[in-house]
Amino acid sequence: MIVKVNNLVKRYGDLTAVDHLSLEVHDGEVFGLLGPNGSGKTTTINCILSLLEYDEGEIEIFGQPMTPDAYHIKRDIGIVMQNIAVYNELTVYENIDYFCGLYVRDKNLRKKLVLEAIEFVGLADFAKFYPKKLSGGLLRRLNIACGIAHKPKLIILDEPTVAVDPQSRNKILEGILELNRQGATIIYTSHYMEEVERICSRIMILDKGKAIATGTNSELKAMITTGEKITVESNDLSAEQLAAVRQLPNIVSAEYNRPLLVIKSSRGANNLETVLDFIKKEGIQFSRIYSELPTLNDVFLELTGRALRD
Amino acid sequence: MFAHIFSYRLRCLLRDKETIFWTLLFPLLLAVLFYMGLSNVNKGELFHPIDIAVVDDANYQSNYSFKRALEEVSQGDDRLFNLTTASRDRCDQLLNNNSIDGYILVENVENIYAEKPIKLVVKESGFNQNIIKSFIDSYLQTQSAVSSIMQINPTKQQELLNSLGERERYLIEVSASRAEPDNILNYFYTLIAMACFYGSFFGMREITDIQADISALAARVSTAPVHKLKALLSSMSASLLIHLTEMGLLLIFLRFVLQVDFGPRTGLVLLTTVIGSLTGVFFGAFISALVKKSEGVKIAVLVSVTLIGSFLAGMMYQNMKYIVAQKAPLLSYLNPVNLLTDAFYCLYYYDTFTRYALNMGILCIFIILFCVGTYSIIRRRQYASL
């Protein structure tokens, strides 16, 4: 077990930011904490890192209690904060070297690690640049490099792709998977479900400080009744026909906002075929029809009654 | 680890142009401005002979004693007057075109008891006019005394004449210092004190970069396997080194370029500067730890305290220092900028160390208070909120 959190409670006055949360992160996995803003992801991370005092619970990392002066544990942890945390007066190389130097004393080893980190995040051409000269995406990459240069066993990334362009986001996500392949255990927090779906091997969904579901991507989707979402683009649908759609077998809901008819079906076979047969029989004109499997947003929606980005 | 943090901290601080400007370049620029603006103050206080005229008529020519007295004080390098003898019309003309401050008209030769036997004609009243009048009054009093004595005891004539030139002093002037009085020194001393307190910007930054509840950078450092207070000690050492170097450069500039006199006690001047620098840096650290507001608010507090302290120490108006000492003496001892200024002042003017030691002692107490206060606030390594 890399991280074990048991019954964690963190209160800010009357507000309970983390509410009896328990989680386990296993060796070699990419563990995602998914939830909307204010759901308690960053607070949980800060408690795990012993930056925040908490009201109840126990936290263990590498099988040992985590405390502010557990330096032997901190030595093997890499942090990438949500906010950019670099020195504006130091170049890219110097920033990475400075933070790496807080963990690694050997100068030669440190130089090797710093160069590897620069190469890893694709900042080789910008090594002598000051942070102010970097774009938002490159700055995020520098932020990551400062957290991972010392090759930690556990890397905690707290929303590392906020306000990043798609190209840099892609590079960052690929990099995280590569770090995992190299042996690091990852804890990744985000409110972007696509990112979490893409890179996390196990996911915990948080809402209002509580864990509402934990499992692999497919395990989470199996928890809900929605099987697939069928969308029909049509301007030719009457109220009677909409009512008839709702009566079809396995159909959970059908909403028509011209020109989109969105049909949600429960899990089962031949749902798309049933809908197509109905359209053909009624002679409904349509331009496009497509089917999607449920997303984590559907999971969140069904479990909380709200969309993930509400 | 100390060397690693220290060396990177030096680089960070030396490349922080804004802080370097306010802590080094601004005091240097202000010193130059003070020098340009105040260098004539001492020269302005030197005595310049007063331009006067005397109406050259029969009365003046026949009043030998007055003529002789007036000519005597109008001779030599340390003369009282630049004397012109001219006709009444010419004297009026000189007075009207401001070539002289006044002219003297001898009206009554025979009777010195007559009303206004020697008349002073001026266009306006002022300092120079008062000096001319004082001279005339002094002459008339002496003349009157001589006449009275001669009437009562004519046999003492020779003795009286001998004693006229001798003025007996019954008060002895003893200087508290061997230093030359200098009216502009206090301005430069307040400037040094102000520069010491601009070191508070360094102290503020050190706390900002080590308190995880203030900055993300500090939060990242707090997650590293480094003891917080050891990290603070390393970076604070870099700050102190830079600020002390800046203060050294300022002193060198003042002493050797602007020729500001600090007196003969160079070692104590340096010690005072070191104590001042420590007070400034730790003051900034304390305020940064205490005020849980944005960096802008903290800077506003530091600048306000420093400028108000400098003003009360006499930076903008020299007499303010004395006004505060008279009206609110406690404030003099609670204002660290004034304590520093006064310490430099004591080193320059006083032969004894009592007042200097008192100033330094209070400053050391301030340093201890700031350190203890800062430590008690930042010693926590876990926070209630971030």
Q: How far apart are CA B89 and CA B56, in angstroms?
A: 11
Q: How are the residues of chain A apportioned to helix, strand and coil, as percentages rounded to the nearest 5?
A: 35, 30, 35
Q: What is the pLDDT of residues B296-316, one digit of tens each?
A: 899 999 999 999 999 998 888
- Find the CB nearest B386 among A51, A71, A89: A51
Interface contact flag, A79 B223, Cβ < 8 Å? yes
What band does A300 get if pLDDT is binned at 50, 70 and 90? confident
Q: How far apart are CA B355 and CA B343, in angstroms?
A: 8
What band does B165 get if pLDDT is binned at 50, 70 and 90? low
* B362 C-beta neighbours (distance < 10 Å), count: 18
Q: If you average pLDDT over residues A268-283, what whole number do you get? A: 86
- Find the CB nearest A75 among B225, B381, B382: B225
Phi-psi region of B335 (alpha: psi -120 to 50; beta: other; left: phi over 0): beta
Q: If you average pLDDT over residues A100-118, what whole number do you get? A: 94
A3-217 has which fold?
A: Rossmann fold (3.40.50)
- As a whole number, the mean pLDDT across chain A is 91
Query: Which residues make Cβ contacts (< 8 Å) with residue A232, sequence separation at least 6?
Result: A260, A261, A263, A275, A279, A284, A286, A288, A289
Interface contact flag, B16 A72, Cβ < 8 Å? no
Q: How far apart are CA B141 and CA B146, in angstroms?
A: 9
Nearest to A252 by CA among A307, A308, A218, A301: A301
Task: Report H helices in chain A.
Answer: 41-48, 71-74, 92-101, 107-120, 136-148, 166-181, 193-199, 217-222, 239-246, 271-282, 296-304
Measured between its terminal Cα atoms, the distance across chain A in Å is 34
Residue of A11, A41, A46 to mutate, testing the B interface (most B Cβ within 10 Å of its Cβ): A46
Cβ-based contacts of A12 with chain B (< 8 Å): 384-385
Domain ranges of chain A: 3-217, 225-293
Measured between its terminal Cα atoms, the distance across chain B in Å is 26
Q: How far apart are CA A203 and CA A191, in angstroms?
A: 12
The better pLDDT of the pair B318, B255 is held by B255
Domains of chain B (ranges, CATH numbers): 2-42+185-378 (no CATH), 50-164 (3.40.190)
Cβ-based contacts of B16 with chain A (< 8 Å): 89
What band does B107 get if pLDDT is binned at 50, 70 and 90? confident
Q: How far apart are CA B96 and CA B316, in angstroms?
A: 38
Q: If you average pLDDT over residues B106-127, what whole number do you get? A: 75
Cβ-based contacts of B239 with chain A (< 8 Å): none
Interface contact flag, A85 B381, Cβ < 8 Å? no
Q: Do domains A3-217 and A225-293 have the same CATH topology?
A: no
- Give residues 219 to 258 of B whose Cβ lies within 8 Å of A: 219-227
- Two structure tokens written together for A307: 């969309």
Q: Do residues B294 and B204 make contact, with C-beta atoms less than 8 angstroms apart?
A: no
The DSSP annotation for A241-289 comes to HHHHHHTSTTEEEEEEETTEEEEEEES-SSHHHHHHHHHHHHT---SEE
For A18, which DSSP code?
E
The better pLDDT of the pair B52, B179 is held by B52
Q: Do residues A129 and A159 make contact, with C-beta atoms less than 8 angstroms apart?
A: no
Q: How far apart are CA A92 and CA A86, in angstroms?
A: 9
Q: Token pair 């003297």 is at which residue? A: B104
Looking at the complex, report in whole angstroms how far the Cα of residue B228 sits from the nearest Cα belonging to chain A: 9
Specify the pLDDT at position B316. 87
Nearest to A84 by CA among A126, A125, A145, A35: A145
- Two structure tokens written together for A140: 């995020």
Query: Which residues make Cβ contacts (< 8 Å) with residue A50, sequence separation at least 6?
Result: A59, A66, A67, A68, A70, B381, B382
The amino acid sitting at B290 is L
Cβ-based contacts of B19 with chain A (< 8 Å): none
Looking at the complex, report in whole angstroms how far the Cα of residue A107 sits from the nearest Cα belonging to chain B: 10
The yes/no answer to whether this complex scores an ipTM above 0.90 is: no
Cβ-based contacts of B386 with chain A (< 8 Å): 46, 51-52
Looking at the complex, report in whole angstroms how far the Cα of residue A164 sits from the nearest Cα belonging to chain B: 18
Query: Which residues make Cβ contacts (< 8 Å) with residue B154, sequence separation at least 6?
Result: none
Give the angle B213-B219-B223 at the CA atoms, nearest 5°: 135
Is the per-residue pLDDT at B109 higher than 80? no
State pTM to two decimals: 0.76
Is the per-residue pLDDT at B112 higher than 60? no
Q: If you average pLDDT over residues B191-205, what whole number do you get? A: 94
Interface contact flag, B216 A51, Cβ < 8 Å? no
Task: Pick the residue from chain B with its C-alpha nearest to A146.
Answer: B220
Choose the CATH number for A225-293 among 2.70.70.10, 3.20.20.10, 3.90.470.20, 3.30.70.980.
3.30.70.980
Nearest to A78 by CA among A161, A180, A162, A153: A153
Q: Do residues A262 and A291 make contact, with C-beta atoms less than 8 angstroms apart?
A: no
